[in-house]
Amino acid sequence: MTANEGLVKQILQSLKTGTTHVVNVPWPHSQPGHVLIRSSCTLVSAGTEKMLVDFGKANLLDKARQQPDKVRMVLDKVKTDGLMPTLDAVRNKLDQPLPMGYCNSGVVLAIGDGVSGLSIGDRVASNGKHAEIVSVPKHLCAKVPETVTDEAAAFTVISAIALQGIRLVQPTLGESVVVTGLGLIGLIAVQLLRAHGCRVLGIDMDSAKLEMARRFGAETVDLSCGEDPMAAATRFSRGRGMDAVIITAATKSNEPMHQAALMCRKRGRIVLVGVVGLELSRADFYEKELSFQVSCSYGPGRYDPLYEERGQDYPLGFVRWTEQRNFEAVLDMMADGRLDVAPLISHRFDVSRAEEAYQLVAKGNGYAGILLQYTGVKDQAPDSRQTATVRLTPEAARPAHPVHSVVVGVIGSGNYATQVLIPAFKSTSAVLKTVASASGVSGVHAGKKYGFDETTTDSASVLQDTSVNAVVVATRHDSHARYVCEALQAQKHIFVEKPLAITREELGMIVTTFNETHAGISHPVSNGAVSVAPLLMVGFNRRFAPQVQKIKTLLSGVQEPKSFVMTVNAGAIPPEHWTQDPDVGGGRIIGEGCHFIDLLRFLAAAPITTMQASSLGTQRRGRQADSVSFTLGFADGSMGTVHYLATGHKSFPKERLEVCCAGRILQLDNFRSLRGYGWPGFTKMNLWRQDKGQTACAAAFVDAIRLGGTSPIPFEELLEVTRTSFDIVDALA
């Protein structure tokens, strides 16, 4: 298929093998705060993308050597979760395709809500991927001046990377600056420094790059000929030492940093834009009082989700140069000729020949700027389900679905969905029909891996598909309530990942919709083999874990109240992570702590009647506490305390449950080891691998639909658990 038939070509790389493929994916869906762009050109980043290719081609041992911090995380996970779940997680991570590219120029096709300053038909530069159609947040694109070509505009992002490094150096007119490493960013840095009125000395081993630097007005040092950079820097600085050094090289060696320190004058400045060894000599820096700073990509706002994802700009009076304003600055310099990137272009490939381009990148030499070109792409945004859907299985090859099958559509294909949730449903008797994702890439991957008939970027189409009778929602928490209501109104059974809702208003909306769709039906009844009333279930999987089921059985013979102590070694999450945002993730208690409220409610088998809560330390403004203890009282006199803590060590079990009653104790460690103390006929139940009940949870939902039964978790308990999570947050506030 071509883009004109509703599909777009995109370049994906396998982290497992390093191979690069051109894959057909659905049109990305237009989103609020985003711009939909038809690509004209994209630039292959010779440094970053070569590192990704090299990493992918490395074997597991070499991959581990390159990322020792990830190895420590894996070892900690082995200690807590066991070897097999850890290996599954690693394989799943390496199996996920990586969208390549971040230097894009193209034409605006559609504008999402909340975007101003752009119109359909505008030419823009952005950090969009290598794809025929991309969706980019509004602050990561900038309008291209008329005199700047599409090819030149594709250099905007890497030019902004060079510019940000220069801004940190803070050069003044007439200063002498070294640029170490004359790749694309280094050669652009040479031009930008010259535009600042600086004298520039370029250092590299490639004679072609050195010639280009001289063309742009720099003097050079050719390391391949044995030229001495120290002597050259001394001559160039008239014996005073260089004012500053910008390192744009990519090497594991510590030598560039050592040389930079030796070249600098007293109180000189060193800024690292590239990737080099950082074993620093204190004496190098101490005696001269040198300053050293690492430059972060293309400027302020980078990696800030509030700026990039939610569109909250920084005030101009306080942050003059954001990443978007850096884009605009380099485009202005291209427009007036002070920045010339045309000589940097060495190769052009149509996107269909992208694999040839990456074979060239893998060689590591013989190229400079590699442009990918996009032709024949539709100049109109998609307006139908067909243009947002990829058929993964030919119609003729699809087996006929048995009558009364549970046909599932999945909305969301992130890490948890692809690693845990979808495999759980795959193991049931359900038919996997459609998987929806925002970008299309993860949906294509999940669809092919788990045998879905199709994938789409239009989530509404899943709810509109009459052949789909069950919807699984695995999106960000702020969309759960909306999808629940829409699925209920469409008379579809729905399995939604926790939480059910993140506000009381959302929960009230669900209650109203549930009552309306179940009006006149006292309980679900069978229509053939499919329930008439739509079932609603939340993914509270822990109650379905085999060891929890064993605890439930043991407790069923105990009539007196029980005491539960649940310790959750939740681990720290950065404050800026979406799960910490009350408006998006609901915070950690509503977003994850609900699991443990449900677990204790299930084991107590009695309604929650009281609640007390306290937090550790002070809360950040606008963020909920993530180290909390709360105690629940139950109608039968039982009580349960949950210690949900973000302050523990990763090697300690993440979840530990202790149950005390009738002179006996049960202790469950991380859903692998269950021990009984004082229980007649029971001492232990250990598993070879961790089992938190996800597969049994999915099976219970599918079986309830297939057999026409009631929901595995009563609706009243879902409401009770959700309301209790709100009560805890309110008490802490």
Asked if residue 122 is part of any domain, the answer here is yes
pLDDT at 376 over 50: yes
169 Cβ contact partners less than 8 Å away, ≥ 6 residues apart:
177, 244, 246, 269, 271
Give the model's pLDDT for residue 173.
96
* pLDDT the model gives residue 391: 83
> Which residues partner with 35 through β-bridges?
111, 136
Same domain as 183, residue 145: no
Q: Is residue 303 situated within a structural domain?
A: no
- Reported as a single tens digit per residue, the pLDDT across 704-719 is 999 988 999 999 999 9
Please tell me whether residues 602 and 707 are part of one structural domain. yes
Reported as a pLDDT band with limits 50, 70 and 90, residue 522 is low
Same-domain pairing of 478 and 569? no
What pLDDT, on the 0 to 100 scale, is given for residue 518? 86
Boundaries of domain holding 401: 385-538
pLDDT band at 526 (very low <50, low <70, confident <90, very high): very low
Output the 3-class SS for 468-497.
Answer: CCEEEECCCHHHHHHHHHHHHHCCCEEEEC
Task: State how far the Cα of 224 lies from the Cα of 207, in Å rounded to an integer.
Answer: 8
User: How far is it, in rounded angstroms, from Cα 37 to Cα 29?
Assistant: 11
- The confidence score (pLDDT) of residue 386 equals 44
- The whole-number average pLDDT for the span 654-661 is 96
**pLDDT over 70 (residue 644):** yes
Question: For residue 509, what is the domain's CATH number?
Answer: 3.40.50.720
Residues 441 and 576 in one domain: no
Q: Which pLDDT does position 440 carry in this prediction?
A: 87
pLDDT of residue 633: 97
pLDDT tens-digit profile of 572-589? 888 888 888 889 999 999
Q: How confident is the model at residue 3 (pLDDT cuts 50, 70, 90)?
A: very low
Q: Is the dihedral of CA 398, 400, 405, 407 positive or negative?
A: positive
pLDDT at 145: 97
Distance CA 58, CA 70 (A): 15
523, pLDDT greater than 60: no
519 falls within a domain: yes
Predicted confidence at residue 713, as pLDDT, reads: 97
Q: Does 620 map to a domain?
A: yes
> At residue 713, what are phi and psi to the nearest 5 degrees?
-120, 120
Same domain, 594 and 508: no
Residues 517 and 487 occupy one common structural domain: yes
3-state secondary structure of 516: helix
Q: Is position 299 within any domain?
A: no
Nearby residues of 678 by Cβ (< 8 Å), 6 or more positions away: 663, 664, 665
Residue carrying structure tokens 């009282």: 633
Task: Measure the CA–CA gap between 662 and 671, rounded to whole angstroms.
Answer: 23
Taking all residues of the chain, what is their mean pLDDT, rounded to a whole number?
A: 89
Model confidence over 401-449: pLDDT tens digits? 666 789 999 999 998 999 999 999 999 999 999 999 988 888 998 999 9
pLDDT digits (tens, 9 = 90+) for 171-197: 999 999 999 999 999 999 999 999 999
Number of domains in the chain: 4
Whether residue 48 has pLDDT greater than 70: yes
The pLDDT score that the predictor gives to residue 71 is 67
Residue 508 CB neighbour total at 10 angstroms: 12
3-state helix/strand/coil string of 241-293: CEEEEEECCECCCCHHHHHHHHHEEEEEEEEECCECCCCCCHHHHHCCCCEEE
- In the prediction, which pLDDT does 57 show? 67
Are residue 523 and residue 414 in the same domain, yes or no? Answer: yes
Q: Residue 524 pLDDT > 50, yes or no?
A: no
pLDDT value for 561: 96
State whether 547 and 530 are in the same domain.
no
Average pLDDT over residues 248-258: 92
Paired tokens of 694: 């996800």
**Cα separations in angstroms, 476 against 45, 517, 726:** 31, 25, 18
Domain identity same for 127 and 172? no
Nearest 5°: phi and psi at 706? -65, -40
530 and 580 housed in the same domain? no
Residue 307: both structure tokens together:
């700026």
Give yes or no: residues 563 and 694 share one domain: yes
Domain membership flag for residue 83: yes
CB 573 within 8 A of CB 580: yes
Tell me how far apart the alpha carbons of residues 499 and 467 are, in angstroms, rounded to a whole number: 27
Two tokens at 146?
A: 């008329």
| Predicted pLDDT at 625 | 79
Residues 203 and 20: their CA atoms lie apart, in Å, by 32
pLDDT digits (tens, 9 = 90+) for 621-642: 556 778 999 999 999 999 999 9
Could you tell me if 505 and 552 lie in one domain? no
Closest C-alpha to 229, from 211, 212, 210, 250: 210
94: pLDDT strictly greater than 80:
no
Report if residue 26 sits inside a domain.
Answer: yes
Mean pLDDT for 108-133 is: 95
Nearest to 346 by CA among 108, 499, 511, 155: 155
